[in-house]
Amino acid sequence: METKQKIMYLNPVGFDTYDAFFAEMIKENKFSTSEVHVTSLSSSLGQMDNLEYRTYNALIASDLIKATRQASKEGFDALVIGCFYDPFLLEAREISGEMVVVAPCHSSIEIALKLANSFSVIIGQKKWEHEMHSTIKEYGYAEHLASFRDVCMTVPEFQKDHKLTEEKLMEASRLAIEEDYAEAIILGCTLEFGFFEKIQNKFNIPVIDPSIAALKQAEQAAILKNDFGWKPSRKWSSEAPPIEDVGRFGLFSEDYQFGNRIIVS
């Protein structure tokens, strides 16, 4: 079948070890008509393997915007920013041209609220709550948030001991359902992949894997763009930087070099 959607799943750090995990997840879950490129930012960013701190987020800003512009230039229909913080989502959308940009937190909530009236987010560390809560409020979904539940784990720890991770996610989900009255669970990190089905089967409520949610939202957005012309608005608050300024300031004068690329076709 002819490929119709071209998607980029961007790992927004220079640390590319996780790319193969994401590529395998995408291979198992993408539409047959999608070509997905799993990329990571330039290795010049160093070996940050997470964005748990605002400091780390700030350090990727320039590269993420340049990568977004490059993906648009290469003709991608949609881009996934692969971190649950949704770093620089609005900024990336501003410079994306006709390419749709999605991110895990926003995508997960949209799906959860098609299935339930409230949700809890299972996060790694208490530290994450403030930034994620602010983001959810900005999106306008705060009234649907039942709670955050943390499992006292860092991002890299989620994939080290799967049995321990599963136990902690199960217990946090149980508390969110029984004590906070959550009707759906959202796993609050893209590295929490591989666990949603067991939790969902145990508690019989929707459990949203944010990596899969973002992928499927990107694919759907790409289909709608290609079939109905539903592409990003460029009016008012969605207006892109003027082309004259981009040239005058010397922005994006060179192609952005991704640190890694795996093509899943």
Q: How confident is the model at residue 47 (pLDDT cuts 50, 70, 90)?
A: confident
Question: What is the domain count for the chain?
Answer: 2
- Could you tell me which residues come within 8 angstroms of residue 246 by beta carbon, excluding any fewer than 6 positions away? 252
Domain range for 52 is: 5-103+212-264
Is the pLDDT at 161 greater than 70? The verdict is yes
Residue 133 maps to which CATH number? 3.40.50.12500
The tens digit of pLDDT for each residue in 30-44 reads 999 999 999 999 999
Average pLDDT over residues 205-217: 98
Q: Which of 179, 194, 210 is the last residue of a domain?
A: 210
Is the pLDDT at 1 greater than 70? The verdict is no
Average pLDDT over residues 159-185: 98
Q: Are residues 89 and 218 in the same domain?
A: yes
Q: Are residues 90 and 15 in the same domain?
A: yes
Residue 60 maps to which CATH number? 3.40.50.1860
Average pLDDT over residues 142-151: 98
Q: Are residues 84 and 123 in the same domain?
A: no
Q: Are residues 73 and 114 in the same domain?
A: no
Q: Are residues 48 and 115 in the same domain?
A: no
Q: Which of 193, 210, 227 is the last residue of a domain?
A: 210
Helix H, strand E, coil C: the string for 75-95 is CCCEEEECCCCCCCHHHHHHC
**Six token digits for residue 256:** 């952005």
Q: How confident is the model at residue 46 (pLDDT cuts 50, 70, 90)?
A: confident
Q: Are residues 16 and 70 in the same domain?
A: yes
Query: What average pLDDT does the chain have?
Result: 97
The tens digit of pLDDT for each residue in 97-137 reads 999 999 999 999 999 999 999 999 999 999 999 999 999 99
Q: Give the strands of the sheet with 34-40, arranged side by side.
A: 100-102, 78-81, 5-11, 34-40, 260-264
Q: Are residues 92 and 187 in the same domain?
A: no
Q: What are phi and psi of 83, to 5 degrees?
A: -145, 135
Q: Are residues 50 and 92 in the same domain?
A: yes
Q: Are residues 133 and 188 in the same domain?
A: yes
Q: Which of 171, 193, 210 is the last residue of a domain?
A: 210
Strands 119-123 and 100-102: unpaired
- In percent, the amount of the chain with pLDDT more than 90 equals 98
The tens digit of pLDDT for each residue in 68-106 reads 999 999 999 999 999 999 999 999 999 999 999 999 999
Q: Are residues 38 and 97 in the same domain?
A: yes
The DSSP bridge partners found for residue 122 are: 149, 187
Cα(74)–Cα(262) distance, integer angstroms: 15
Q: Are residues 242 and 185 in the same domain?
A: no
Q: Give residue 169's pLDDT.
A: 98
Q: Are residues 113 and 205 in the same domain?
A: yes
Q: Give residue 3's pLDDT.
A: 72
- CA 183 to chain centroid, in Å, comes to 22
- pTM of the model as a whole: 0.97
User: What amino acid is encoded at 225 in this protein?
Assistant: K
